[in-house]
Amino acid sequence: MHDEFFEHDEGPPYVDPDSINPNALPHALRNLELFGSDAYLSMQATNLAVVDTFAMKLESQLLSSYVTKGGSVIAEATFLLAQSQMWIFAAYEALRTWRQRAKQVLRLADNGGFALKIADLRKDVGFQHHGRLMLADQYERISQEPSLLDKVRDDLRRVHIPFARMEMVRVSLAKHEVSGKPNALAYAPGYGRINRWCGALDFELSNGPCIFGTVSRRDVADEIRAIPHGEVPSEQDLASFDEAMKGPPPTFEQQ
């Protein structure tokens, strides 16, 4: 690889894919309360890890080809773009489903609704519905161990920032809109530039005239892997982050 790709003293900001434990990503997701005890969400974590390993190889190959061939990598980049978008969509849905479940658990705890919800999930629906019964078991375990609610709250805070970044790029890619602003068109949705460090495709994160930087499929995967190791952000930290992500107020012409 050309020396220009490592011209900074701090070295490359991405770990070599060969040194990444393929179990790190599913382990991080299964460490979330309510995720690992759900067989079907756990299956999604495995699928994400399998495709993540495949995609990192594609990203490394694209970077190598780009350095060697210059701009003659359209076919490789197009295939990686398709894989990257589909992976982001899948990762988003897995975490969206988990967040929905986690928030529902907190609501049930607040309103004392565990008993009724568990009874509803266990009622006879005419056949063995494993998904309903598994969810009932999860709710029952948490209702009997209230300390687990603190773990749910902490996990939601840990996931908040990486999920918000993923959601912003996902809405741009899938809906061609700015996240949280249905009437605002995204800037160049689906356009990605080759990251010179790892070969992943960088998508711009922007909200009107405000550009927050870029995020790639590799960034999303790395942020998921890091979830169990980061500190739990405070509510003030998350509120500041959310406010910053709103971007500047719209001008008269944008309204």
The 10s digit of each residue's pLDDT in 123-134 is 999 999 999 999
Taken in order 234, 31, 28, 245, the sign of the CA dihedral is negative
Q: In the predicted model, is pLDDT for residue 7 greater than 70? A: no
Question: Is the model's pLDDT at 249 over the cut of 70?
Answer: no
Structure confidence at residue 252 (pLDDT): 41
Please state the pTM of the whole predicted model.
0.90
**Average pLDDT, integer, range 35-56:** 97
Residue 9 has pLDDT above 70, yes or no: no
pLDDT digits over 134-186, tens only?
999 999 999 999 999 999 999 999 999 999 999 999 999 999 988 878 788 88
Give the whole-angstrom CA distance, residue 196 versus residue 93.
Answer: 28
Residue 4 burial by CB count (10 A; 0-12/13-18/19+): exposed, middle or buried? exposed
Which residues fall within 8 angstroms of residue 25, CB to CB, at 6 or more apart? 45, 48, 49, 52, 221, 224, 225
Among candidate residues 32, 29, 21, the one with its CA nearest the CA of residue 47: 29
**Average pLDDT rounded to a whole number, residues 13-30:** 96
For residue range 196-243, list pLDDT tens digits in order: 999 999 999 888 778 888 999 999 999 999 999 989 999 999 999 999
Of 87, 216, 234, 52, give the one whose Cα is nearest residue 160. 234
Of residues 67 and 250, which shows the higher confidence score?
A: 67
Comparing 7 with 198, the larger pLDDT belongs to 198
**Could you tell me the residue ranges of all domains in the chain?**
22-230
75, pLDDT greater than 70: yes
Taking only the tens place, the pLDDT of each residue in 93-123 is 999 999 999 999 999 999 999 999 999 999 9
Q: Band of the pLDDT at 11, cuts 50, 70, 90? A: low
